[in-house]
Each structure stands twice: as structure tokens, then as C-alpha cells.
Structure 1
Amino acid sequence: MFSLTMLGSGSAGNSALIATDHCKILVDGGLSARQLVLRLEQCGVMPEQLDGVLLTHEHGDHICGLEVLCRKFDVPIYCNALTAEAVRCDSSFERHRNWRIFPTGSGFSICDITVQTFPVPHDAVDPLGFAFYAGSGSLGFITDLGYVTKMIVERLRHVQTLVIETNHDEKLLQKDTHRPWPVKQRIQSRHGHLSNTAAAGVIEELLPGKIERVVLGHLSRDCNTPELALETVRASLAKHGNLNVEIHCATQFEITPQFRIGETEPGAFQPTFENAFFQNAL
């Protein structure tokens, strides 16, 4: 068995904790280092226990607390080469030497958690989605993407829990007066963000299947609400007779409950990979 806790998700910052008895991984570090530490403590985890931070991409709402957290507690950063290069453009990362660089599309293990990576369409240098496996549990993780490719659907076909972005309500985005038209076009583009309706369509495409739970995330603070996102997805599933899937919504300012995924198989633990298994960023 392993668990998922969303530490915070939204326009202002994103981070999630994936944990087993032997392993603690953050997906992204987009909250301040102080908030990351505080929210980890709410989960009963000290930052010194982290086995790594796995990056989806280099945008600020996914890395803003990364440098301080990883430098202070010497936490490894797992990412692909282009993301590492983009992150290291910030001179504050020059002193960090604990990198684990992997090819996009590769799979590897961190302790007893297996990670499968795959590309997603977004306006970053080499953005990623993930599928995680531990024991008999499986978790899909896709945030920050403009649409879902056939390959992404296949990578997520057998996951039990899915984290997916529901960034905006299409009507609220059109009515928004704070964003100029080019920004709205970017958000709605094939390298932008999924709307509530688009995310609902992805979930439908994964059913019938193993999916038991969906966690909605990365909601716009101006162009969406948890109520709208939940209503849209639930209505879509009900329309197609899929009433047995749990639907939850992560928020910006508080952690979610701990979602337990699968059962732990005896002997599943493996030692953490050493540096030699990964190219280190120089």
C-alpha cells in the first residue's frame, strides 16, 4: 500500500506527497519551503525523511520552494535533462549538486516506489506526467497539460487513483477581465491547461477500468471553483452511468486527506538507487 496527500494545488503553487513505509517523495515543490515543511509535518513527515522531489516541469508554481528545501535538507531532485537545465538558469540552484537526471519516457524506482514517466503537451521545455506503482497500488499524475494524447491514456489505463487538473471553467475564463486575450488563448491551447469539461472527458475515456478515485487539482483561483469542478465531473460520470468513482478536489491552502492506494506485497521493498544509476547535472 502507498498513500497520496496533496499538500496544495492551484495557481499559486503545487506539491504532493507520495509515501510508503519505506519511501517519501514529493511531486513538485511549488509552495514556499516554509509551507512545504509545515504541510509535511501535518502529514507526520519531517523534511529530512524525503527521498526525493520529482519535477513535472520548471514553472514557478511547481518549483518556487525547491531550492531552499533541497539545499537545506540535501534532498535529491529527480527530473529530465531539459527541465534541469531550465531550473538551473536560476543561479540559486548552482550550489545544489544532488540531482538525478533521467530520460523522458523512462521508468525507475525510488526505494519501493516505481515511477513511469511520459511526456505531456504543455508550454514548458519537457513537461512530464507520471504513473506510480507500489505493491499492488497504482497512481496516475497529470497536471499542466493542454490535451491528453492516446499515449497518455494508455499509460493511465490501469491506475486505481488519478490526479488530474481541472484548471478552469470555460465560461468563467471567457468572462474573466483580469487576463488579456492572448493569455486566455494560451490557457485554452493544446499546450495550455485542461478545463473541467476536458478533464471529465479524460476520466470517461479511462472507464471502464481500474480507476476507483479521482483527485482534481490545479484549479484557477479566478476562473474556477471546487464546486464547479466537482459538479462538472460528477455530472459527466453520472450521465454515463459511472457512479462508483470517488471524486475529490485538492485546494490551494490546505492539505487533502491521506488517500490510501492498493496493498503492499511482501518483499516489495528495494534499496534506493545510488547516484550512479542517474546522470548527475553538472
Structure 2
Amino acid sequence: MMRFAVLGSGSGGNAAVVECGGLRLMIDAGLSAKQLSARLQSVGIDPKSLDGILLTHEHGDHVRGLKVFLKQNPIPVYTTPATARVVRETGIDGGTWKFFEAGQAFTLGGISVETFAIQHDAVDPVGFVLGDQSRRLGFLSDAGFVTRSMTERLRGLAGLFVEANYDEGLLEADTKRPWSIKQRISSRHGHLSNTQVTELIREISHPALGRVVLGHLSSDCNTPDIILNRLRACLGELGHGHVGLHCAGQHEPSDWFDF
């Protein structure tokens, strides 16, 4: 069995946990260490039982709790050398650091981990595909543009976590953000829009895709109803209305999703 839960997702912090092949891995550590521990325990995971942490990139909302969490739980951290260099400049000195290059695949116990480069304004951001011979979970967060290579890496999945940061109309109408911030969000190194996510799902959807979990929704420039309605319509057109859809929240963990 493979299962996956989002501990929290949004501009206030991002983290998730995956169980597969007898291993438990946390992806990112953007909540406070206190919240990471509390939310892991709320979904039945002892923080000390984790086998490692995978980092997508170095931004604070993805690594904020790492320093204290590693002092409490000195477990391996898997990331690229460039990301590790930036993160460790903040004074993080706990845990054991394991490096991979973007695009490299490696095995952790019974889990195969495929990595791929993504488009974002970070030093060396990556996405992941995790799984075994029978099922695979894709993880794509904080990407301004979906390349053909990224799409190919995400084919044949049983489940997918993907950011759906903003609705184009709501972002354009937003009065809180200056033009420069809007340009950064919608740039090729910013975040994914509802349209981009819908087109990605259209490309990779297939009969065995069971679940899509959407994360990093802007509290001002997106709503669960908007993106869920778009994806339901898209999947219905493709004859894949069986795919389960869920929006992860910022303030509490999701349920477990089995694959």
C-alpha cells in the first residue's frame, strides 16, 4: 500500500508525508517544527519514525521548520547540492545530508524516487515521483511553467499532488498585490495557474489515475470551488470522472489518500 497526506499547504508553509514500501518520508518542512510534529502525530506518525525528508527547494515556506525539527529528529535530508548550500547558510546543522542531481533517480528502501527539474525562482527546484512497481505518486509544487519534460515525467501516475496557486481573473482583479508581484506570480518562474494545472491534468489523465490533490491555493486569488469545477469538467470530458479531487488546506492536515 502507498498513502499520502498533506500536513499543510499554502504561503504560510508546506509539508507532506508519504508512506510506501515500509518507509515514511516527509516532503518539505515549511511549517514550524512544533506544527510539523503536532500534525504528523495527528495523522498517526511519530516524527522520530520518519526515514528522511525530501526538499523541493529552499524558500522559507518549504524549509521554515527544518532547523529545529532536525535538532529534535536528526534524520537524513535529501536534496540537491545547490539547495543544500543555500539552506545550510541559515545555520542548519542537524541531520545527515544526502545529495542528488535534478533528473537523477535513486532508491530508498522499497521506494523508487525519481527527480526532475522544474521552473521556479529558486536555485535548483525539483519535483518528485515516488513509488514502487505497482503505483507511483507525483509531487509538483511551486512551478511557474509546465515543460514537456515535466509532463512526460508525470505520466502513468496513480496519484498527483500539484499546486494550483491562482485563477487568472482573480489575480488580475486583486488590489492587494502590486503589479510587480503579479508579474512574478504569473511568470515562467512563478506559480501555476488554474489553466496550467487543468492543461497538465488533461495531458496526463488516464484510467488508472485515482487521485489529484491540489495545493498552495492563494487565499486571495483562488478558491477550491473554481479549480475543482474546472477539473471536474475537464476530467468528465475525457471520460475520467472517477478521479478523486481534493484541495489541501493551510491550517490542518488532510486525510490520508491511499493509492
- Range of TM-score over shorter length: over 0.9
The one of 142, 146, 149 aligned to 1:148: 146
CA offsets per residue over residues 217-272 of structure 1, 9 Å max, x none?
111121112222212221222344431211111111111111111xxxxxxxxxxx
Letter in 2 for 1:237: L
- Which residue in 1 is equivalent to 2:74? 74
Q: Percent identical across equivalent pairs?
A: 47
SS in structure 2 opposite 1:116? strand
The CA RMSD over aligned residues, in Å, is: 1.3
1:89-133 deviation digits (Å, cap 9, x = unpaired):
212x1x325111111111112221110000000110010011001
What is the distance in 2 between the residues matched to 1:142 and 1:90?
Answer: 25
Note the residue ranges of structure 2 that are not aligned, 5 or more in a row.
Answer: none
Tell whether 2:100 aligns with 1:102: yes
Runs of 4+ displaced beyond 4 Å:
none
Do the aligned partners of 2:29 and 2:65 also contact (CA within 8 Å) in 1? yes
SS in 2 for 1:16: strand
The CA deviation at 1:154 is 1.0
Q: Give the secondary-structure state (helix, strand or coil) at the position aligned to 1:29.
A: coil
2:256 is the counterpart of 1:249? no
Q: Which has the higher contact order (CA 8 A, sep 6+)?
A: 1
2:202 corresponds to: 204
2:183 counterpart residue number: 185
Contact 1:105–1:118 under 8 Å retained in 2: yes
How far apart are 1:197 and its partner, in Å? 1.6
Aligned partners of 2:111, 2:78: CA distance in 1, in Å? Answer: 13
Instruction: Verify the 8 A CA contact 1:215 1:249 in the aligned structure 2.
Output: yes
Alignment of 1:4-43 (within 5 A): 4-20=4-20, 22-43=22-43
Aligned to 1:256, what secondary structure does the other structure show? coil
Deviation at 1:76, TM superposition (A): 1.3
Whole-Å Cα distance in 2 between the matches of residues 35 and 209 of structure 1? Answer: 37
Unaligned 5+ residue runs, structure 1? 262-282
Aligned to 2:234: 236
Which residue of the partner structure matches residue 157 of structure 2? 159
Q: Is the 8 A contact 2:17 2:27 kept in 1?
A: yes
Match of 1:122 in 2: 120
Question: SS state of the match for residue 190, structure 2?
Answer: coil
